[in-house]
Amino acid sequence: MINKTLGIIGGTGWLGGAIARAVLAKGLVPAGNLIISNRSGNHPLAEQGARLVTDNQGLVDRSDVVIIAVRPEHFASLGIDATGKIVISLMAGITAQMIAAQTSASAIVRAMPNAAVEIGQSFTPWYCSAGVGTATKNLVQRVFECVGAAAEVQQEDFIDYLSALSGTGPAFPALLMTALARQAMLAGIPGDIAQMAAKNVVVNSSQLLANRDPQQMIDALVAYRGVTAAALQVMSQGDFEEQVGRALQAGAAVARKGLQA
């Protein structure tokens, strides 16, 4: 448990709400030390003991650590003064410099969780601006370990790149699952069977990779020189990896350009 008050602006949204629930469930902060805000002023989280407010400046004033979990286009209108506070931003495409300019916070951290915060399975890379001390770094790591794995990165640009990679969470698997199911149906496999087969590949069979090296897995399966080898060979001849690279660069370019309204 940490002896700090944590405020989450946008603490009832997808990411903010999941982090709020997780820090309470893991006992990182007691409910009395958690303040969340939104514009609408109501949410079931308030029934779990967290204070729900609509006054963002009031939240900042009462918090030691402020997580900004609103969408990037809502950041400019927050108008908060966080002088002397630690601010952790989850917003894609908003630089540490912009956050410093608009909030006057003394310590700024940019973190990029993904939608799997909801099931405690996010990977959250985070970057902190110069001058952030070890105690604050430990605290940031502990907050994000409540919703999965987390690691500090040394360059802010890595956050923009990783926004397009781990930040997209289930997006790439969803695309693969959809493609597998559609192609199977086009080949005449009944829809329900196609969906079950595609789901098994993406959601269930992939669990084998949790503790195995993926390249070794590919090599082992290709070594059979059978069905899997033929399928994977077509994928790699078809520019698959370069296409993945272009997709990641396209997403990163949007993050680098900035998403502020």
Binding positions for ligand NAP, rule: CB under 6 A: 9-10, 12-16, 37-40, 56, 69-72, 74, 77-78, 90-92, 112-115, 167, 169
Residue 256 annotated in ligand binding: no
Residue 69 annotated in ligand binding: yes
Q: What is the rounded distance in angstroms from the CA atom of residue 133 to the CA atom of residue 137?
A: 6
Least Å from the CB of residue 156 to ligand NAP: 15
In the sheet that holds 6-9, the strands lie side by side as: 51-53, 34-37, 6-9, 65-68, 86-89, 107-111, 122-128, 148-152
Residue 5 annotated in ligand binding: no
Query: Is 112 or 143 the residue whose CB approaches ligand NAP more closely?
Result: 112
Least Å from the CB of residue 91 to ligand NAP: 4
Residue 169 annotated in ligand binding: no
Q: What is the rounded distance in angstroms from the CA atom of residue 217 to the CA atom of residue 198?
A: 19
Residue 70 annotated in ligand binding: yes
Query: Is 69 or 198 the residue whose CB approaches ligand NAP more closely?
Result: 69
Query: Is 37 or 95 the residue whose CB approaches ligand NAP more closely?
Result: 37
Least Å from the CB of residue 70 to ligand NAP: 4
Residue 11 annotated in ligand binding: yes
Least Å from the CB of residue 191 to ligand NAP: 28
Q: Which of 140, 146, 173 is nearest to 159 (CA)?
A: 140
Query: Is 34 or 70 the residue whose CB approaches ligand NAP more closely?
Result: 70
Residue 9 annotated in ligand binding: yes
Residue with the CB atom nearest ligand NAP in the bound state = 13
Query: Is 10 or 148 the residue whose CB approaches ligand NAP more closely?
Result: 10
Least Å from the CB of residue 89 to ligand NAP: 8
Q: Which of 192, 170, 173 is nearest to 181 (CA)?
A: 192
Least Å from the CB of residue 92 to ligand NAP: 4
Query: Is 54 or 233 the residue whose CB approaches ligand NAP more closely?
Result: 54
